[in-house]
Amino acid sequence: MPQSRFADVRRFGSIDSTNRYLLDEARAGAPEGVVAVADHQTAGRGRLGRSWEAPPGANLLLSVLLRPVLDPADRHLATTAVALAAVDAIGALGLGGSGGSGGSGETEGSDGLGAPVGIKWPNDLVDTRGRKLAGVLAETDLLPASGTGGHPAPIVVGIGINVNWPDGDADLPSELRGLAVSLRMLAEGPVDREELLVNLLAALHPRTADLGLPAGRRRLSQDLLAACTTIGKSVRVDLADGSFEGTATGITPEGHLLVASDGVTRSVVAGDVVHVRPRS
């Protein structure tokens, strides 16, 4: 594995939430690069206050502590970096990927064999049928104590990748059938979680290094555009103060989604979005 800043990997058989753990570590002054991986979470957190559940030992449940020197307006790119690293890591398994450029070039993108994986803006990993393969949850803490020791303020980015669960639709609660998928389902056989973890740690290094450079941030946005399954789709954007419908037409160099609606193109910021979904 190339030299990676993600070498401090803390493993847990069972923990409430790897995001919660790293936020506490960040408050105590832990540096960038600490990784928490769990076999099982008893209170895994999802977006919008939801829970994130998976049977013990089946999926990859991981959080990373980042302290990027970033303008507040660019902090959403931390989640993009982790989502793209996951696409790279899955591509390196040889099962599929978006065909992105592989960040700073230290990891190879997928050759697109078999089971392409893309990103539903802003950061869900989905298969070609739009079924969710992974979710990303960034949590931040801008309290002054968080930046102790001269470190920039932390962002904890957690990702849950469906590796060996579900094994099929029958494994899922009825409301998720047809909406979620695992690498095992795409590969039609068990997938090695440890290999995926090694790939992800390797891919995180160049992807998160890109956060610190203007050209790197543009690359993250370009690669998000290349991987993004939302472009060309009719979407409804639910914001905190209302919603609107339109067609997703692109992604700006800053990583914002462009949505054309009633002859006007609006730029949608990830942090503002409650939900983007296909228009019904």
CB 165 within 8 A of CB 171: yes
Q: Does 277 bind ligand BTN (CB under 6 A)?
A: no
* Radius of gyration for the alpha carbons in the chain, expressed in angstroms and rounded: 18
Pick 22 or 219: Cβ nearer ligand BTN: 22
Q: How far is the CB of 146 from ligand BTN (least distance, A)?
A: 18
Site string for ligand BTN, 24-43 (x = CB under 6 A): -----------------x--
Q: Does 154 bind ligand BTN (CB under 6 A)?
A: no
| 21 vs 114: CA distance, rounded Å | 36
Pick 77 or 86: Cβ nearer ligand BTN: 86
Neighbours of 160 (CB within 10 A): 26
Q: Residues 29, 31, 46, 147: which binds ligand BTN (CB under 6 A)?
A: 46
Q: How far is the CB of 22 from ligand BTN (least distance, A)?
A: 9
- Comparing CA positions, the residue from 86, 253, 56 lying closest to residue 157 is 86
The residues with which 64 forms a beta bridge, in sequence order, are: 35, 157
Q: Does 45 bind ligand BTN (CB under 6 A)?
A: yes
Please, what's the largest Cα pairwise distance for the chain?
Answer: 53
| 212 vs 205: CA distance, rounded Å | 12
Cα dihedral: 188, 192, 196, 198 (round 10): -160
Q: Does 98 bind ligand BTN (CB under 6 A)?
A: no
Q: Does 159 bind ligand BTN (CB under 6 A)?
A: yes
| 137 vs 185: CA distance, rounded Å | 23
Q: Does 118 bind ligand BTN (CB under 6 A)?
A: no
Q: Residues 63, 199, 221, 229: which binds ligand BTN (CB under 6 A)?
A: 63
| 234 vs 144: CA distance, rounded Å | 42
Q: Does 44 bind ligand BTN (CB under 6 A)?
A: yes
**How far is CA 26 from each of CA 46, 146, 152, 207, rounded to the nearest angstrom?**
20, 6, 10, 21
Q: How far is the CB of 10 from ligand BTN (least distance, A)?
A: 13
Q: Does 18 bind ligand BTN (CB under 6 A)?
A: yes
The residues with which 15 forms a beta bridge, in sequence order, are: 41
Q: How far is the CB of 113 from ligand BTN (least distance, A)?
A: 26
Pick 136 or 202: Cβ nearer ligand BTN: 136
* 3-class state of residue 147 by DSSP: helix
Q: How far is the CB of 12 from ligand BTN (least distance, A)?
A: 11
Pick 41 or 107: Cβ nearer ligand BTN: 41
Binding site for ligand BTN (CB under 6 A): 17-19, 41, 44-47, 50, 52, 61-63, 124, 135-137, 158-160
